[in-house]
C-alpha cells in the first residue's frame, strides 16, 4: 500500500473507531420501514403453523476473506429469523456453500435454540453444507431440490449470491414460497430486486439486527453507518465543488 | 448486567486478536511512519502470523464440511421427509463413494467431475437465462411501480442496444451512456454503502460492541 493511501486508511479507521465509541444513544431514533424485516417474523409464524421448515441460505458468504463481516451479519439475521421458528415441529434449516461458514451456521442454530431454552430440540443436521461447485450452480441446484424434498415454507437468502440466485428464486416462485433475498454482489442484488418477494439492497442487511432484535443499543450501528454516509456525502460534494472551482477558476 | 466468564473470555480474545491484526495490517512494513516505523513494524509480523493461522483453520473446515455432508445425507436416507429426499441423499452418497474410488484408480482424469458435474452445471447455466426472463415477467405481474418501470426500461434498452445491428446505433449510444454514467454511479453508490457498513460493523465487532458469538448477540 502506498504511504499516503496507508495514512488515509488509518485516519478513516480511527474516525470510525471514534464515531463508534461516541455514538451511544439509549433511545433509538425511528427507522424507515424495510419490508423484508417486517415480514421476517411472519415467515417464522408461517413455518410453525404449516409445520414446514424455514430455510436460511448463507450462500457463498465465507469467513476469512473480504466477506467476513457480511457473513457475521448474515448469521446475525439468521439468528433472529430462526429464534421464533425453533418451536416449530419442522426445525429451520441453514445452508451454506462455504465450509468456513459451517461452524458459524451450526453455532447460530445452537444459540437460537439455547436462547429459547430448547437446546434439546436442536439437531446438528439442520446446518448443511452444499458444495458450490466451480460456478455456485451446484448450490443453487441443491436449493431448488431442497424446497421440494424438505417441503420448505419460505426462503431467506442472505449472503453472497450471483446470477445463479435466479434459479432458486424462480423455483421458489413456482412453488409459491415467500422469498427474502440479499447479496453482496451487484448481480445478485439485481436478481433479488427483480425476482424476490422482498429484497434487501445495498447495506440494508447490515441494519437487520436493530430491526429484528428490537434492542435499543443495536440501533447505534445503523446510526453510525448513517452518520458516516452523510460525512462521505459532504466530502464528495466538497471535492466536487473544489474540482469545479479548479476547472472554471483557472 | 451479569457477564459470564466464558463470554468475557470470547470478547477478550476477539478484541486482542482483532486490534493486533488490524494494527499490523494498517502499519504494514512501517515505512509510512518514518523513524518510528521500525518500532511498529513487528505488528505486521504478528498479524501475518494470525492470518496464516486462520488460513490453516479454514483449510481444516473442509473436513468438517465433508463430515457434515455425509452425516446429513445418511440421516436423510434413513429418516428423510419423503421418497424424493431419500433418493437424492442416496444418489449423493453413492456418487461420493464412486468419485472417491474412481479417484484412487485414476487421479489424472476426473471422470465424474468432467463428465457429470460440469455437464449438469452447464445445463443449469443455460436455464438461468429462462429464469431471468421469468423474473422480468414476474416483476411486471407484481404491479406497476416507478422502481419496477425504471428497472425494466433500463434492462430493455441495454438488451436491445447490445444487438449487433447498424440500425440500432443511436440506441447503442444510449446504452453506452447508461452503462458509463447512471449505472456506474449507482453501482458505486451501492458499493460505497456496503463498504461503509462493513467498516462500521467490523470496528464494532473488533471493539466488542457487536457480538455475533457466545449466547448474546450484542451488548453495550
Decide if A235 is inside a domain. Answer: no
Across residues B82-97, what is the average pLDDT? 90
Task: State how many domains chain A has.
Answer: 1
Q: Which tens digit of pLDDT belongs to each residue from A102-142?
A: 999 999 999 999 988 888 888 888 999 998 866 678 889 89
Supply the pLDDT for residue B217.
47
Answer yes or no: is pLDDT of B218 > 50: no
Decide if A207 is inside a domain. Answer: yes
Decide if A225 is inside a domain. Answer: no
Q: Are strands A154-160 and A127-129 parallel, antiparallel or unpaired?
A: unpaired
- The answer to whether B38 and B30 have CB atoms below 8 angstroms apart is yes
Decide if A174 is inside a domain. Answer: yes
* Closest CA–CA distance from residue A29 to any residue of chain B (Å): 17
- The answer to whether A173 and A167 have CB atoms below 8 angstroms apart is no
Decide if A220 is inside a domain. Answer: no
Is the CB of A138 less than 8 angstroms away from the CB of B131? no
Of A198-212, B101-115, B145-159, which gets the smallest average pLDDT?
A: B101-115
Mean pLDDT score of chain A: 88
Decide if A4 is inside a domain. Answer: no
Q: Which tens digit of pLDDT belongs to each residue from B172-203?
A: 888 888 889 988 999 999 999 999 999 998 88
Task: Name chain A contacts of B118, Cβ cutoff 8 Å.
Answer: 134
Q: Which tens digit of pLDDT belongs to each residue from A148-183?
A: 888 899 999 998 998 899 999 999 988 999 999 999
Nearest CB to A20; choose among B187, B196, B200:
B200
Nearest CB to B135; choose among A127, A194, A206:
A194
Nearest CB to A228; choose among B64, B196, B207:
B196
Decide if A24 is inside a domain. Answer: no
Task: Name chain A contacts of B117, Cβ cutoff 8 Å.
Answer: 133, 138
User: How many CB atoms are closer than 10 A to CB B49?
Assistant: 13
Q: Residues A186, A188, A192, A195: is their CA dihedral positive or negative?
A: positive
Residue-by-residue DSSP string for B82-123: SHHHHHHHHHHHHHHHHHHHHHHH-SSS-HHIIIIIHHHHHH
Nearest CB to A221; choose among B28, B204, B215:
B204
The distance of Cα B61 from the centroid of its chain, to the nearest Å, equals 16
Task: Name chain B contacts of A73, Cβ cutoff 8 Å.
Answer: 201, 212
ipTM for the whole complex: 0.89
The domain locations on chain B are 1-109
Question: Whole domain around residue A203: which residue ranges?
Answer: 37-215
Is the CB of B218 less than 8 angstroms away from the CB of A218? yes
Q: Are strands A54-59 and A154-160 parallel, antiparallel or unpaired?
A: parallel
pLDDT band for position A66 (50/70/90)? confident
Residue A126 DSSP class: G
Distances (CA, A) of B127 to A131, A172, B54, B159, B163: 20, 15, 37, 18, 21
Residue A243 DSSP class: H
Between A165 and B161, residue with greater pLDDT? A165
Decide if A14 is inside a domain. Answer: no
Which CATH number covers residue A91?
A: 3.40.50
SS3 B192: helix
Amino acid at each position: 500500500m502506498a504511504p499516503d493511501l496507508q495514512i488515509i486508511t488509518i485516519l478513516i479507521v480511527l474516525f470510525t473507531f471514534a464515531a463508534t465509541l461516541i455514538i451511544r444513544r439509549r433511545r433509538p431514533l425511528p427507522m424507515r420501514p424495510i419490508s423484508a424485516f417486517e415480514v421476517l417474523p411472519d415467515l417464522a409464524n408461517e413455518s410453525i403453523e404449516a409445520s414446514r421448515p424455514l430455510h436460511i441460505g448463507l450462500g457463498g458468504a465465507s469467513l476469512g476473506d473480504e466477506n467476513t463481516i457480511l457473513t457475521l451479519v448474515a448469521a446475525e439475521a439468521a439468528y433472529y429469523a430462526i429464534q421464533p421458528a425453533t418451536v416449530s415441529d419442522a426445525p429451520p434449516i441453514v445452508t451454506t456453500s462455504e465450509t468456513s461458514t459451517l461452524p458459524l451456521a451450526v453455532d447460530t442454530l445452537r444459540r437460537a435454540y439455547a436462547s429459547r431454552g430448547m437446546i434439546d430440540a436442536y439437531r446438528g443436521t439442520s446446518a448443511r453444507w452444499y458444495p458450490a461447485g466451480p460456478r455456485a450452480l451446484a448450490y443453487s441446484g441443491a436449493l431448488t431440490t431442497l424446497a421440494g424434498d424438505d417441503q420448505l415454507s419460505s426462503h431467506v437468502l442472505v449472503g453472497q449470491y450471483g446470477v445463479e440466485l435466479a434459479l432458486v428464486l424462480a423455483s421458489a416462485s413456482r412453488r409459491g414460497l415467500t422469498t427474502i433475498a440479499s447479496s453482496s454482489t451487484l448481480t445478485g442484488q439485481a436478481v433479488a430486486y427483480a425476482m424476490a418477494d422482498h429484497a434487501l439492497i445495498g447495506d440494508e442487511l447490515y441494519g437487520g439486527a436493530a430491526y429484528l432484535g428490537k434492542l435499543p443499543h443495536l440501533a447505534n450501528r445503523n446510526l453510525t453507518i448513517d452518520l458516516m454516509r452523510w460525512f462521505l456525502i459532504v466530502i464528495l460534494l466538497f471535492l466536487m465543488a473544489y474540482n469545479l472551482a479548479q476547472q472554471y477558476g483557472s | 448486567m451479569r457477564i459470564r466468564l466464558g463470554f468475557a473470555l470470547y470478547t477478550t480474545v476477539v478484541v486482542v486478536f482483532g486490534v493486533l491484526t488490524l494494527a499490523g495490517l494498517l502499519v504494514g512494513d512501517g515505512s509510512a511512519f518514518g523513524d518510528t516505523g521500525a518500532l511498529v513494524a513487528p505488528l505486521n509480523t504478528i498479524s501475518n502470523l494470525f492470518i496464516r493461522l486462520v488460513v490453516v483453520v479454514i483449510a481444516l473446515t473442509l473436513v468438517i464440511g465433508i463430515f457434515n455432508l455425509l452425516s446429513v445425507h445418511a440421516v436423510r436416507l434413513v429418516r428423510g421427509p419423503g421418497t424424493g429426499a431419500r433418493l437424492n441423499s442416496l444418489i449423493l452418497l453413492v456418487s461420493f463413494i464412486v468419485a472417491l474410488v474412481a479417484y484412487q484408480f485414476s487421479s489424472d482424469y476426473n471422470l465424474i467431475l468432467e463428465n457429470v458435474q460440469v455437464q449438469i452445471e452447464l445445463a443449469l447455466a443455460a436455464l438461468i437465462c429462462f429464469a431471468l426472463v421469468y423474473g422480468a415477467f414476474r416483476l411486471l405481474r407484481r404491479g406497476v411501480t416507478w422502481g419496477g418501470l425504471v428497472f425494466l426500461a433500463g434492462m430493455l434498452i441495454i438488451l436491445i442496444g447490445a444487438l449487433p445491428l447498424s440500425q440500432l446505433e443511436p440506441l447503442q449510444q444510449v446504452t453506452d451512456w447508461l452503462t458509463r454514467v447512471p449505472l456506474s454511479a449507482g453501482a458505486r453508490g451501492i458499493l460505497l454503502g456496503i463498504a461503509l457498513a462493513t467498516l462500521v460493523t467490523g470496528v464494532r465487532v473488533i471493539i466488542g460492541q457487536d457480538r455475533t458469538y457466545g449466547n448474546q448477540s450484542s451488548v453495550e
